[in-house]
Structures are given as structure tokens and as C-alpha cells.
Chain A
Amino acid sequence: MRYLPITGADRSEMLRAIGAPSVDALFSDVPEDALLAGPVDLPHHAGEFEVEQRLSRLAGRNRAAGAGPFFCGAGSYRHHIPASVDYLIQRGEFLTSYTPYQPEIAQGTLQYLFEFQTQVCLLTGMEVANASMYDGATAAAEAVMMANRVTRRSKAVVSGNLHPHYRDTAATLARFQGFALEAGPPAPAGGEDLASRIDGDTSCVVVQYPDLFGNIRDFSELAEAAHAKGALLVVVVTEIVALGALRPPGGMGADIVAAEGQSLGNAMSFGGPHLGLFAARTRHMRQMPGRLCGETVDADGRRGYVLTLATREQHIRRERATSNICTNSGLCSLAFTIHLTLLGETGLKRLAALNHAGAVSLADRLGDRVVTPHFFNEFTVRLDGDAADAVERLAGGGVLAGVPVSRLHPGAGLDDLLLVAVTETAGADDIDALAEALQ
């Protein structure tokens, strides 16, 4: 077996050194009847070519986004990933390293984390960011739990336009932790009144920006209303590229930003792995979940980086930790930070502008069918019939037209609504094709 270097001769000599008659004898602590006599009932080992061939066949049974016009979004976006991103993240010193517990030989990881945290702060307009969460949905759930800790309250008021997977992820934890999560009904055209739902028991208000249907709005007043009642404002962002074009949530009074960072540097990959971003205010730093990388000096006085404030974390604090998270999304954060470094100020703004311009040009073509008044690169279209049927039909013709709202809000009476995302990967002819198909 090509990955297993111990030879038969090694094995005999090593067993002699150990003083054991056989490898099986090393398992003497296992109850005898639980020891399998031979291999389990699964195929035997296979060579590289064979594995490659069989997996390629499975991959071939999926329709890759690049094969035709593509407009799916709703929390996972298709953006171009520069070639150097994928090369750099596959350098073995990054790919095959562990969490930087030994900082003297992990400065590479630690320095990029420090840069990453800074970039996340800049994008979101927040003061402090952690080293990542599993994905946007778990980041949002952690944000609610953090707000509960900070305010010592236990009721979250949740926008009906929060991605239902995010809502459900938080609701699942709410059920077992015993806090309340009050989610409103979806409002495709926006304009929800959340402020009136905040009371003295509310720990936080959770909104999405842009929201599930693509709406964008200024949350400054909502932030004030929340703060006046002692509650926090949690802003969820599922399309981080939007913050290249839009005012950052930090500037609107957000206390916590929980975001999905997949759009920069990471493939859609059927929804995972993705990249949870988590940013907050310095005054709440010690209530944050997850790892934080900080600057310090070494014994020779040289600048260096370490994981810090670990007394919040499970390996030190155990049952009193702020979160149980350990492994996060390290390599995805590396892809994110490399992509953003390549883009820089100009590249990010141009990328965001191209996304918006593409979306506007499609929306212009669709006219009154567009439900979303203001948007970034994704909006909602009202069709004459069932959107899921239309998507299925168009897929047959090679066009992946978007995500039917019924896929995320089944039975909500929104079956004629379609979410359409236009990124820089959609060309003018793709946009033409979709506009024509949806007329």
C-alpha cells in the first residue's frame, strides 16, 4: 500500500523490540469478541489511477457551474478564483500543518491570520475579528449566543429575511440551550419592522445584509433602537464581496458581524467547506468564540504572532468556554486572505462594481418582474408559474437559472419567486440567455 511505509522486515524487528509476538497481540485490551478476524466487508485497496477513474466518473454525473449560464446564490457564490490562490494554499507547509500551537514554527500561519483578521475588520468596519468559524450559519448562531452572554438575556429577534439555514442552525441551539428565537415571516420586498419587536428581554436583533431576497437597507436606526433597549445588533452577510460596494455594517452600528467568506478564494464545493467570519467590538472581545491571533515579541525582541486570549477557549476553560469550537476553517481563511490581497483596494472595488453592474443589467431586462428595489448582485424575480419547475426546465436546456425560494421556504406561498445571483462570472450572453428565458 503506497501510503504505508513500514515493511514486513521492519514489523518483525519492531515487534521484537517491543516484546510482542504480533501486531494483533497489541490489541489485547480490546474485548476478544469485538476484534474482527479479518478485513471488513468493503472493497480492497486500489491504485491511484483506479481511484481517480472512479471518482471522476462520479464527478461527471454532476453539472459543473462552468458548463453554462449560471445564476445560483443564496449563500454560496461562484466567483473567479485566481490561479495563484489555489497554488499557494496547496504549499505543503500550509496545507499539512496543524493549528499553530507551537508559534516558533508556525509564524507563516500566524502572520496570515493576523493579516486576515485585519482584512475582516476593514471589510466589515468592525474592531476585532477572530480566526474563523465553520461557516456563516454557525458564525451567526455563535453571534446570538455571544449576545446572550453579553446582555445576560435570552431572546433573539430574527429577521424573516435571514437565510433559513442560518435561522434553523441558531434555532436548533436555541431549543437545547433554552433561549428564545423569534423569527418573523419572510418579506421578499423588504421593509420589515423589527424595531417594534425589541423589548427589555431582547439580547439581539439579527438581520441579513444583503438579505435572502437581495434587499439592502440602512440599519443605523435599528441599531439605535436596539441599543436604546440594551440589545445588540447582529448583522449577517452571506455575500462578502458586497462589502466592496456597500457601506460596512460597522458604520451602521452593528455590534457583531457574522459572515460567510466563501466568495473570496473558495469554491462552492456543494456548500462546504465554507468560511465563517466573525467580527465584533473591542469591548466584547473576551466574550468572542474561537481563536484569536495576536502580535507580540520573541525572546530577541523581534515581532511575532501567537494565538492569544485562550482563556476563553475550550482547551483551557473547558465547561466554561465561550464556545466548544476547536478546528475552524484555517485553509479557507488562507484562500480568502490571498484572494483579497491579490485584489487589493482597486481590485475589490472593481470586482464588486462588475457584480452589481451585471445584476443591474439583468434586472433592467426583467423590468417589473424584479421584486427587490435595491440590491447588490442578487435579487428576487416573480415568475408566472412555479419557480422550481422553471429552474428544472431551464436546467434541461443547460441554464442554471437560480435558486427557487420554495427550496428554502417550502410551503410559504412563495413558489413563484426565484433568487437570481449575477457575479463577474456571468457574461453578457449568459445574462441575455437568462433574460430571454424568464421573459
Chain B
Amino acid sequence: MTGNSHDTVSGDLGLSIEEPLIFEQDSPGAVGVDWPEAEAGADRLGGLARSGPVGLPSLAEPTVVRHYTRLSQKNYGIDTGLFPLGSCTMKHNPRLNERMARLPGFADIHPLQPESTVQGALALCREVQRWLSVLTGMPGVALTPGAGAHGELCGMMAIRAALDAGGEASADRRRVLVPDSAHGTNPATAAALGFEVVSIPEDERGRVDPGRFEALAGEGGVAAVMLTNPNTCGVFENDIRRIADAVHEAGGYFYCDGANFNAIVGRVRPGDLGVDAMHINLHKTFSTPHGGGGPGSGPVVFSEALAPYAPVPRIVEEDGVLRLEEANGRAFGRMKAFHGQMGMFVRALAYMMSHGADGLRQVSGDAVLNANYLLRRLEDVYSAPFAHSGPAMHEALFDDRALRDTGVSTLDIAKAMIDEGLHPMTVYFPLVVHGAMLVEPTETETRASLDRFIAIMRGLAERAKSGAPLTEAPFHAPRRRLDETQAARKPVLRWQGARE
């Protein structure tokens, strides 16, 4: 960095403290957990005892606590400020939910201890199913998928199973229609199951054109449509009923990507729109923390037609006793070990109970209100490709047309936001608009926070137009721009010194 009179001896700056890797802080002899040595005796390892060292560093507890505290200070979270990452629904994470998930009766129970000793846990799972079923208007709920993409696999496998059971040559039914605006997991899921992905272009309203869709569906061989609604362009697919009818008429099923359920929760039930299967990211709409990348939870709701094919295990009630059903003739199989993300179910239920039916309705209302407020206050300085086509849902989508000829890109705006103390929005997604900026404020922001965001974004647009050097930003983050090309060209994926 540039030398000036404020340079420090260490190079650290106030609370910005460089933190070496744990491997570089190895202090042989130090230990962070005190376990006694086991009493000497004959082992039963059959000659398979590890001989050399593992190579792990030794650090005492204070060093460890300081290490991770300093690392945490290089991170931005919702607790830090507005986190408008479109499609990710970064809303406030109530700490009550953390407390509840840590109750020993939920956290300290084993998945395979006798069912008679976990009736409360099974009842909680059923309660989560009830809430999700009522909120979506769909009768079946599979709880086990580990996140949204895993839910997509679950839903699409149920569709495959239903088609196979339908008796017709389902091998001829392998086309899955996916809009170009879809999240990457949609085509990846379809392809992973041996489906052929047929892309549907967006029309000028950022939606699927129903006529074109009917034509595509009419070409035959359709297994399903995978549609996100509200979609990733931030608008509601207002022809959803026609789309549902067309896919059903063609003999296929309607998979809905429910990542954007936050926009309609408590107001619209996907079951009323012709949806056959939909995953719900509990880590989006129902506020279980994203934790820097997971864990998530992706329950799938099913229509009457698909519910019989839901995976095992299922929770059934017999004579007032809850039980896990591990085998069922029509179930398509199993998603993962055990019974699902219990820790996330507890958090989501705490969230749903706290909001209630009335609060959840306000959630979607305020989420949509906030997004429209940002859209209308920014559309004169950032181009909003679909703003003319009616209200936005819970996201405001901009492209980079307004930045043309400034030399400033969507990425530059994002990096400049970092200097302003904001987390950037989602950039370059969806792929259907150039230089996309997808802004999702969520319902848990204050008006003041939204106004600050607006002021900063307007200011950055002005700076971009006046030739300010935004292409270098950020200057005030723990790191300047990182060289991703070097990272990919010469991958260093582990600490090199740890090699023998």
C-alpha cells in the first residue's frame, strides 16, 4: 500500500489485524483440550495403528479463540449490515432459534435411539410438515433433503418414479423445460438424473411466454418443467396457470424452484397454482442461518399425485405413537443418512411460530414492498430491464446498460459497495440480462437502512458517470481484489508446508 505518515510498524491497522494460518502458529507442547492419556493396555487395532504424526499444529485455547475471532472480523454477515444478495434471502437470524436448536432434547439425541425415546423430536418434525403443508397448500412433505439443490434432486426423482410407474415408456419422456433465467442447480439437477435440458428463453417481460411454452411442451417427450416463481428476474410468472396446464396436458409434471417463496409466503399457495413439487430452502424463507455456506435444509412439498413417491424415511402415527417408516413400496428411495436436518427444523419452527400466520403474511408483504421501493428509487440511475412490466416481487433486477460508456462494470459497482460498508447484491445472475445486479433487501431491513442503500447506490452511479476510479475498489476491505485467475491456474488448495 502507499506509504504515508500513518503507516504502522506492524503493518496492522487498528482492528484490522493480519492473522496467520493455524499451521504457522504451531507451538509443539501446547494443547487446547485437556484429555488424559489412556491407560496403557493391549490394543485391538489389529496392527493398523497410525504410526507417524498426523501433522496437526498444536495451539492453546486462548490462541485458538483469538484466531477465529480475528478471522470472523474479516467477514461480513447480516449482523453487520444490509446483505442484499438476490435469490439468497439474507434476512435477520433470530438468536432464539439458535437457543432452541441447542436444547439437549434436540441437539443431544441420536438418530437411531429407540423411537419411544424421541417422540418429541418426531412430533416436531410433524409440526414442521404441517406448517409447510398449510403454507404451500400441498399435502406431501419430504423433510430429508439437505439443501435446495438436494430438494431439486428429490422432487425430480419423485417425478421420474411417477413417470416410470405410469407404465408408458418413460424412457421416451426425458425432456425437462428450464427457463434460461433458472439457477444453475436446475439444469444441473435435471442432467444429473439423465434428463435432457430444453431451454426456454425469457420474453421482454422477464417471463416465460405462454404461447412459446405451449409450443415447446407440444413437441412431446416432456417429463417436467422446472420453473422458479417468483422468478429470478424478480417478477411473478403471471401465466403460471397456463404453463401448469400445458405441462400437465403434455403428460409432464410441474417442478417449482421455491427459492423465492419468501415473496409469497402466507399470501399465495403454490398448490393453488398447479405445482406438483417444490423445494423450500429453510435457510432462505425460514431464516435458518446460512453459516457461510450451509448447512441448509430443503424440504420438498408434493401434490397428491407425487406424494406417494416421496422418499423414506417417513413419519407415521400408529395408536398415538410416532414412528419412522424406513421402507415403503412406492417411495423412490433415500436422500441421505438418517432423517433430515433436525437442527434446521427446530430453528425453522421457532421462526414460524414466532411469526405466525399473520406475521408470515407481513413477511412477504414487507419483502415485496422493500424491493419495489428500491426499484422505484433507483430505476432512473440504474437500468431496470423489467421494471416496466409491473411491480417487482421481493427482488429488484438491474442490468448494466446505464453504466455503458463509463468504463465501470457491474463488478466495479459491487466492489465499490464493499468500501461503503455494504455487502454487494448478486451479480451476473440471472444470465439473461447483461451485467445483472439482483437486489434482495428482505423484510428485516429498516426504512433507514434502505434509504442509506439508495443514497449510496445513487452516489456510486454518479461517480461512475463522472469517471471516478471505481475499477480499483475495494480499498478499505481486509483485502483488495483477489487474483482469481492465478488461483485457478496454479491451484493451491492446502497449506503446502504440511506436505511431508
Having A132-B294, A309-B491, A360-B44, one finds 9 other A-B pairs with CB under 8 Å, namely A47-B354, A51-B353, A62-B120, A92-B78, A216-B46, A272-B336, A297-B483, A351-B33, A354-B38
19 intermolecular pairs with C-beta atoms under 8 Å apart: A3-B92, A27-B267, A47-B354, A52-B99, A66-B108, A82-B32, A86-B102, A96-B93, A108-B75, A118-B23, A177-B193, A267-B343, A271-B337, A273-B341, A299-B483, A308-B484, A334-B292, A342-B64, A349-B54
Question: In the bound complex, how far is the Cα of B75 from the Cα of A360, in angstroms?
Answer: 45
Q: 0/1 per residue, B319-355, Cβ < 8 Å to A?
A: 0000000110000111111111111101001101111
**6 A-B pairs with the lowest CB-CB distances in the bound complex, closest first:** A271-B338, A59-B105, A172-B333, A331-B291, A61-B120, A271-B111
User: Which A residues touch B355, using CB under 8 A?
Assistant: 1, 3, 45
Once the chains bind, are B356 and A44 in contact (CB under 8 Å)? yes
- Residue from A52, A129, A285 having most chain B Cβ neighbours under 10 A: A52
Given the complex, which residues of A lie within 8 Å of B134, measured CB to CB? 40-42
A65 with B486, Cβ < 8 A, contacts A295-B492, A300-B480 known: no
Cβ-based interface call for B368 (8 A): yes
- Sort chain A's interface into a size bin: 35 or more
A332 close to chain B: CB less than 8 A: yes
Q: Which of B83-91, B214-222, B245-253, B457-465 contacts A (4 or more CB under 8 A)?
A: B83-91
Contact B390 A28 (CB under 8 A): yes
Task: Check if B418 is an interface residue, CB within 8 A of chain A.
Answer: yes
Interface residues of B in 101-158 (CB under 8 A from A): 101-114, 116-121, 123-124, 127, 131, 134-135, 146-150, 152-153, 157
Q: In the complex, what distance in Å separates the CA atom of A311 from the CA atom of B338?
A: 32
Inter-chain contacts of B113 with A (CB < 8 A): 63, 65, 72, 395, 400
Closest CB of chain B to A279's CB: distance in Å? Answer: 10
Let me know if A424 is at the binding interface, CB within 8 A.
yes
Q: Could you tell me if A118 and B494 are in contact, using CB atoms closer than 8 angstroms? A: yes
- With a CB–CB cut-off of 8 A, which chain B residues contact A95? 77, 79, 93, 98, 289, 291-292
CB contact list, A29-71 vs B, under 8 A: 29-31, 33-36, 38-48, 51-52, 54-66, 70
Query: A77 → chain B, closest Cβ, in Å?
Result: 9
| B254 lies within 8 A of chain A by Cβ | no
B266 surroundings in chain A (CB, below 8 A):
36, 39-40
Residue A230, interface by CB 8 Å: no
List residues of chain B with CB within 8 A of the CB of A155.
none
CA distance A31 to B242 in the complex (A): 11
Encode contact with B along A86-105: 1 for CB under 8 Å, 0 otherwise: 11111111111111111111
Contact B358 A15 (CB under 8 A): no
Collect the chain A residues with CB atoms within 8 Å of residue B148's CB: 326-327
Interface residues on B, range: 35 or more
- Asked whether A392 is an interface residue with its Cβ less than 8 Å from the other chain, the reply is yes
Contact of A314 among B54, B185, B494, B498 (CB under 8 A): B185
Which chain B positions have C-beta within 8 A of A299?
472, 480-483
A327-B296 in contact (CB<8A): yes
Asked if A319 and B147 make an inter-chain contact with CB atoms under 8 angstroms apart, the answer reads: no
Beta-carbon contact of B33 and A109 below 8 Å: no
For window 167-208 of A, CB contacts with B under 8 Å fall at 168-169, 171-173, 175-178
Chain A residue nearest in CB terms to B45: A374
A348 CB contacts on chain B under 8 angstroms: 54, 56
